């Protein structure tokens, strides 16, 4: 079976859903991953043409097909192979411009008739993908895109849980318009979001008691360091933009969204499919003068060091983490 996934923002969700389904239906299936930008053409064709009598099924994922020259010819060549022992996933990422229009639509890169002859096309475009989590939440709660993002961030990405939380919110509001601030106290907040808020409170308000208690109970030290590292990296980038006069603490959100964000969003990439949205970045402007560039650089280095020491067993998790937290601001008061 050959799947051809294409689209924009919901593409990652659609890909994750498909991968999960394949793994559930084919326990222990061998997996191979290729990236068109890594000059792996020979390896790709070797993987496609090789079958083993000892392996009933294998999974091959080929990413970044939007970067491939001669995509039509590649798609045609797929018809020459035997896929009885393979599941193939081909991924073509479409990019949206600042007006929400697709810059590299699949239809301009290849002939859909050729594609449909060898693969099952799976479209995951924002304008059409009604079942992706964010758009599902927007539709059900009649809320904004930002509110839907925050809602998912708070409750997690499990679809069943999201449906249950939406039902809870609707019962609570009893017909009133959705307001995130009004309902957030009744939501069953996931552990990662809770830790994210504790990390923010630690970094911006130097509050460490609740954070330490959480880490003692949950033992999610690596998740904390990951969240902290990402927050420090974001703040360092914003500080640099501020020092260069590109952003200013007192600028309006509309000005930032329309005039600044389109040119800087590439610096705030979350993954292959997403960037940090305008509003979450704008909310951090109030912290621009909180610490220096040297502080962010030093603390990013310290975070990497403590992570390495914990992973290599040089320090005990709880004791090492608590010492790190208690001494975090020691030389930057």
C-alpha separations of 191 from 4, 155, 157, 276 in Å: 34, 9, 12, 21
Report the DSSP pairing between strands 2-7 and 120-124: parallel
62, 93 Cβ separation under 8 angstroms? no
Residues near 10 by beta carbon (within 8 Å), at least 6 away in sequence: 124, 125, 126, 129, 132, 134, 135
Mean pLDDT of 279-297: 92
SS3 219: coil
29, 22 Cβ separation under 8 angstroms? yes
Span 191-326 CATH architecture: Up-down Bundle (1.20)
**Token reading at 94:** 């479409």
pLDDT reading at 292 higher than 60: yes
pTM listed for this prediction: 0.55
Residue in the block written with tokens 């939406």 = 166
333, 258 Cβ separation under 8 angstroms? no
Percentage above 70 pLDDT, the chain: 95
DSSP bridge partners of 35: 63
DSSP bridge partners of 185: none
Break the chain into its structural domains and give their ranges. 2-124, 133-186, 191-326
The angle formed by the CA atoms of residues 326, 328 and 329, to the nearest 5 degrees, is 105
Average pLDDT, the chain: 88
Span 2-124 CATH architecture: 3-Layer(aba) Sandwich (3.40)
Mean pLDDT of 33-37: 93
Sheet bearing 86-93, strands edge to edge: 31-35, 58-63, 86-93, 2-7, 120-124
Mean pLDDT of 34-41: 89
Residues near 87 by beta carbon (within 8 Å), at least 6 away in sequence: 1, 3, 22, 26, 29, 57, 58, 59, 60
**Which has the minimum average pLDDT: 32-36, 160-164, 209-213, 317-321?**
160-164
pLDDT in tens, 165-199: 999 999 999 999 999 999 988 998 888 888 999 99
**Token reading at 309:** 């020491």
pLDDT reading at 279 higher than 70: yes
Q: Which of the four pLDDT bands, split at 50, 70 and 90, describes residue 131?
A: low
- Give the pLDDT score at 284: 93
pLDDT reading at 99 higher than 70: no
Helices (H) and strands (E) in the chain, counts: 17, 5
Q: Which of the four pLDDT bands, split at 50, 70 and 90, describes residue 277?
A: confident
pLDDT reading at 273 higher than 60: no
**Which has the minimum average pLDDT: 128-132, 149-153, 247-251, 323-327?**
128-132
pLDDT reading at 327 higher than 90: yes
**Which has the minimum average pLDDT: 1-15, 80-94, 120-134, 215-229?**
120-134
**Which has the minimum average pLDDT: 19-28, 154-163, 216-225?**
154-163
DSSP of 235-262: HHHHHHHHHTTSS-TT--HHHIIIIIHH
Alpha carbon distance 92, 36 (integer Å): 10
- Give the pLDDT score at 130: 46
- Give the pLDDT score at 14: 86
| Torsion sign (Cα): 146, 150, 156, 160 | negative
**94 CB-side CA count, 13 A:** 25
pLDDT in tens, 49-72: 887 777 778 999 999 999 998 898
């Amino acid at each position: 079976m050959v799947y051809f996934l294409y689209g924009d923002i919901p593409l990652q969700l659609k890909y994750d859903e498909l991968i999960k389904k394949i793994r559930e239906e084919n326990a222990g299936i061998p997996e191979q991953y290729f990236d068109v930008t890594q000059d792996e053409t020979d390896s790709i064709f070797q993987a496609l043409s090789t079958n083993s009598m000892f392996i009933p099924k294998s999974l091959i994922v080929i990413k970044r097909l939007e970067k491939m020259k001669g995509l039509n010819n590649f798609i045609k060549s797929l018809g020459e192979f035997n896929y009885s022992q393979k599941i193939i996933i081909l991924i073509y990422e479409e990019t949206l411009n600042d007006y929400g229009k697709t810059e590299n639509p699949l239809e301009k890169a290849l002939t859909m008739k050729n594609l449909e002859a060898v693969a099952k096309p799976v479209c995951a475009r924002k304008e059409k993908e009604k079942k992706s989590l964010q758009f599902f939440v927007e539709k059900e709660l009649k809320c904004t895109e930002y509110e839907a993002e925050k809602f998912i961030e708070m409750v997690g990405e499990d679809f069943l849980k999201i449906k249950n939380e939406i039902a809870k919110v609707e019962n609570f509001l009893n017909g009133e318009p959705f307001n995130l601030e009004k309902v957030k106290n009744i939501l069953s907040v996931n552990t990662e979001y809770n830790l994210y808020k504790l990390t923010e409170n630690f970094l911006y308000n130097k509050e460490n008691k609740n954070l330490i208690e959480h880490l003692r109970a949950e033992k999610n030290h690596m998740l904390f360091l990951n969240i902290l590292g990402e927050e420090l990296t974001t703040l360092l980038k914003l500080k640099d933009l501020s020092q260069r006069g590109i952003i200013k603490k007192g600028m309006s959100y509309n000005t930032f969204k329309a005039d600044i964000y389109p040119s800087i969003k590439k610096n705030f990439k979350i993954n292959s499919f997403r960037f940090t949205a305008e509003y979450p970045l704008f909310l951090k402007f109030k912290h621009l003068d909180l610490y220096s560039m040297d502080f962010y650089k030093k603390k990013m280095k310290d975070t990497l060091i403590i992570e390495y020491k914990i992973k290599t067993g040089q320090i005990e998790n709880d004791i090492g983490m608590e010492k790190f937290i208690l001494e975090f601001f020691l030389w930057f008061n």
